[in-house]
Each structure stands twice: as structure tokens, then as C-alpha cells.
Chains A and B, each alone.
Chain A
Amino acid sequence: MKLFPLLFCGITFSLAYFSNQDKELAKSIARGKEIYVETCIACHMGKGEGVKNTFPPLAKADYLLNSPTKAIASIKFGLKGKIMVNGVIYEGMMPSPNIGNDEIADVMNYILNSWGNSTKQPMITEKMVEAVKK
């Protein structure tokens, strides 16, 4: 019976912790949306649909969803050379917008939680972006 209060405390704590993380994620997504509109939208378009054969999509894009790390690296360092996204080859170049690691995390959170993209991805943090190397 002594376990019960402990369990109760644990559940309360976890709920608070996770709802706090949800709030953090929501805030990050909101900041990320601003960065997206400023930096990404001209090529990747308003709903992440891209321009077929020219600019790869971000909405339901296997390249992005299978490896968010690769996507982080493209924002951080730019991307050059051939990539395949949803069965289509893209050969363009994406210049790095040269934004901060915190901003990369924000824009990634926006992209990973928009336009039907999976919300099961863990929240991207500044530290995770910092760890991504060329």
C-alpha cells in the first residue's frame, strides 16, 4: 500500500514533465514556422510540396522522415549533389541559410510536425543539431 503514493507521485511528475515537453515542442514549432516562411518556403513551398524535379518535397518525404539527421545536416552545411526523394532524383544545390542550431531545431520541429508528417519523431533539440557533423 505504501507503493501507491509513490506511484501517484510518479504519474503526476511524468504527466507534468511530458506536458511541459509538449509545450516546449509547440513553442519550437511556432518559432520554426516563422523561420520556414522566411528561409525555406520560396523553394519548398507553403505545404512542403516542393517543385517536382526541381526542389524536393518535405511533406511525407522519405529522405527527411527516414533520416532527420541528414535533413539537419543539409540545413546546417547546405546540400549538393544527387538525392532521391520519394522515387524522384533531385540534383540541385541547397545553400545553407546559415542559421543558429536552435533555429535549425525549431524549423526541423515545424517540418516534422506539418503537412501530414509523422508526429512520432522525437523533438529535435539544439544539442542534437550541434552533434550533427558534416
Chain B
Amino acid sequence: MMVRSKSRLEDIIKSSQLIIFFYLKAMKQVNPIKTRFLMLLGSTVLLISAALLISSKKMTKENASKLDLTVETIATGLTMPWATAFLPNGDMLVTERVGKLRLIKDGKLDPIEITGLPKILYRGQGGLLDVVLHPDYAKNGWIYLSYSSPKADGEEGPDNGSNTALMRAKLKGHALTDVQVVFKALPNVRSSPHYGGRIVFDNKGYLFLSLGERGEKDNAQQLSKDQGKIVRLHEDGKIPTDNPFVNTPGAKPEIWSYGHRNPQGMVMNTSTGVLWEHEHGPQGGDELNIVEKGKNYGWPLITFGIDYDNSIISKDTARVGLEQPVLYWKPSIAPCGMDFITSDKYKGWKGDLLVGSLKFNYLQHLVVKGNKVLSREIILEKIGRVRDIRQGPDGYIYVVLEDSGKIVRVIPKS
């Protein structure tokens, strides 16, 4: 709210500058004959500017105000859906956390499951997670999936451990072919919270994968482990040579940023090329961050949250060298899934961000300007346990609901 009033102040200052500019311009021409006329003109300009200022203030208010929205059910019958992707032929791919990949054809859930998935550990918060198409999908057919992968022979970590993996494959009918495991986060960890799992392409040939700290918070600060990191890879899993820690001894070269807890939302703001991420904090410490190369986002050295038993994790919310979030949620909303609105379907909301809440069964509409959030409001209350939010090729927002096993489309009431 502070930020919002600041932007209004900027508006007022700008308008005042405009008024003063015109007034001075008028006063410069000190022709006695025209003075009266100019004074009159000056006053008129002043009045018009004031009127404009008021109306522009009104407009800002209108832009941030609630749109009347309704939801339309697109598909039902899914079991704990987690994410969705839109295929060029109009079909949708949906991941079910229980470890299944499904197709939605002509608005109906295809009863035939897609085969060819690797071994997936469905336990705790683990399972089949995100699904994203390669930006050149139409040409190359690559589908990327993230999942909790049980320890394979020779991998680091205990025998019954697991960690987040990223694979790609092509879809032929109802089968995945050309399956390649692109990346596996290590070490494997026995417990099963905090897998992260969001996949984002930046359209420059790189992809980002978010990784949770797997309940071992101190490892979010260890560059020798993948826990609590965002990693940056080439589309085939090769590690880019300009990653920030490629020359740091003992550090994992795939790391792009660190100090994250459980990032279950990540999206590229295509209008600015900036990567946004949200993560589950402990009690009261959920964060929205802008992810930048090599930066430390502070978990668990700094946090706005406290532990679930009310114990203090850190007395600090800020420290030199550690990044501050764009905003934090207190109480926690358990954010899961977000997307920027880039279409014109929602009047006044273009460029804004929608974030889903697992905990409170609603969405938050964040008014975004550049890298700042100007205001936030709750929309679509009681929609359900939100897992994913995606703008479809038709420009409408689609929401994946875990509890009702539905995908819905958000439509503004005309």
C-alpha cells in the first residue's frame, strides 16, 4: 500500500511539473497587451491539468479495482492435478501428483493414461510435478516434466532417498518416447517435503528449474548441494559455462541462485525478461522474489516467518548480501503457481500477476509495475486448492485445482 501511495505522489508531482512548465512558458512572454489573455490561458491550463490529474487518479483506482470474474469448468475427474500445458492442437497435458500424465481432448479427460514415465516417488509432497513445452515445441516436440525421483544406483544419498529430477520426452499417441533424464538434484534425501519443481524457459536457450531444500534448511546455503536452489541449464541438461558458480571450488555449477526454501512457483515476465519466483516459507514467511544470477535469497539466515512450533528460525529479516523479497505473505497463503497476464482479456490487468493460494483456496491479483508490486487483492474466493495458474493460448487464465480435480478457466463477466 505504501508503494501505491508513492506512485500517486509521483503522478501528482509529474502533473504539477507540467502545470508549472506551462505557466512559466506563458509568463516568459511578458507582452503587456497579452498578459491578461495569458493569465487567463494559464488559469485554464491549470484547471484542465487539475481536472486531468483527478481523472487520472480515478483511472488508476479503476484499474486496480476488482473485475467481475466467473469460472468455467474445462475438465474434471483428475486425481490431484499439479500442472498443465497447452498443446498446439488444442489438447492439454495435465500432471497428476500420484504419478500420471493425462490428456484433455475436446474438454474431456482422456481415459487413456500416457505411458513411458520414469520411476516416480509419490510420497509426502513428492510425485509427478510440473509440465512445460519447449518454446520450439512445434518444431522439436520436446515436453519437459519434473518429478520426485527415487535414488538410482550410484547416486549420492540414502537408499530410500529421493530428489527432484527433470526429464524430457516426445509424445506419440499415448506414449512418451525419446525419454531423457536431463537433470537430477543431489543428494537424495530420505524425507519427502519441499521438492520445488517449476520449469521455466527464457527463450534464449536456457531453462530454469526450482528446487526445494527437502526439509534440510541449512543445505539451502550450501553450494555443494542442489537443495534450495534455482538451477540454470541448457535445454539438453548441459551446464552453461557462464553460470555464476562454475569456477567456485566445491560448488555445483548448475546453481543460478540459492537460499530458497520451497519454490513452487516460477515464471518469466516476458515483457521485462525478469524471472519471478515464489516460495513457501515457514509460518508467515512466504515470499515473492525476483531471481537474479548468483544471488542469495537468505533462507534460513533471514526470514519473515517463524517455525511451525513458534520457535524463532532467525532473529533477522534482512542482512547485508542477502536479497529481500518483492513482498512476503504474513500469514502464509501457501503460494502455488503463478502467471503474468499478457493478454487483453482482463481490462486494466495486463502485465499483472496472479498467484494461487493452496491454503486459503483463492487467487491473489498483484498489480505489477516493472519489478514492483503496487497492490494486492484477493479474487475468486473459495475456488479451491490452487496448484497451477497458466494463461492459455486464448489469452484466458486457467487454474488447476487439486481438491476438486478440475481445471477451470477464468472469464470476466461482461
Q: Are A80 and B124 in contact (CB under 8 A)?
A: no
Q: Taking CB as reference atom, which chain A residue is nearest B310?
A: A46
Instruction: Give, as a whole number of angstroms, the nearest-CB distance from B337 to chain A.
Output: 15
User: Which chain A residues border B191 with CB–CB below 8 Å?
Assistant: 34, 38
> Any chain B CB within 8 A of the CB of A41?
yes
Q: Are B193 and A42 in contact (CB under 8 A)?
A: yes
Q: Are B361 and A92 in contact (CB under 8 A)?
A: yes
> Any chain B CB within 8 A of the CB of A85?
no
| 8 A Cβ contacts from A84-134 to B | 92-93, 95, 97-99
> Any chain B CB within 8 A of the CB of A47?
yes
> Any chain B CB within 8 A of the CB of A54?
yes
> Any chain A CB within 8 A of the CB of B93?
no
Interface SS majority for chain B: loop
> Any chain B CB within 8 A of the CB of A45?
yes
With A and B bound together, what is the CA distance between A43 and B358 in angstroms?
11
Q: Are B192 and A38 in contact (CB under 8 A)?
A: yes
Q: Are B193 and A39 in contact (CB under 8 A)?
A: yes
- The size bracket of the interface on A is 10 to 19
For chain B, the count of residues having a C-beta within 8 Å of the partner chain is: 24
Q: Are A93 and B402 in contact (CB under 8 A)?
A: yes
User: Which chain B residues border A92 with CB–CB below 8 Å?
Assistant: 361, 385, 403
> Any chain A CB within 8 A of the CB of B80?
yes
Q: Are B385 and A97 in contact (CB under 8 A)?
A: no
| 8 A Cβ contacts from B353-410 to A | 359-361, 385, 402-403
User: Which chain A residues border B360 with CB–CB below 8 Å?
Assistant: 54
Q: Are A97 and B123 in contact (CB under 8 A)?
A: yes
Query: Which of A46, A54, A93, A95 is within 8 Å of B308, CB to CB?
Result: A46
User: Which chain A residues border B359 with CB–CB below 8 Å?
Assistant: 43, 51, 54-55
Instruction: Give, as a whole number of angstroms, the nearest-CB distance from A57 to chain B.
Output: 13
Q: Are A99 and B310 in contact (CB under 8 A)?
A: no
Q: Are B193 and A38 in contact (CB under 8 A)?
A: yes
A residues at B contact (CB < 8 Å):
34, 38-39, 41-43, 45-47, 51, 54-55, 80, 92-93, 95, 97-99
- Would you give 16 A-B contacts (Cβ < 8 Å), ordered by A? A38-B192, A38-B215, A39-B124, A39-B192, A39-B193, A41-B309, A42-B193, A46-B310, A47-B309, A51-B359, A93-B402, A93-B403, A97-B123, A97-B192, A98-B98, A98-B123
Counting from the closest, the 3 A-B pairs by CB-CB distance are: A46-B309, A93-B403, A46-B308
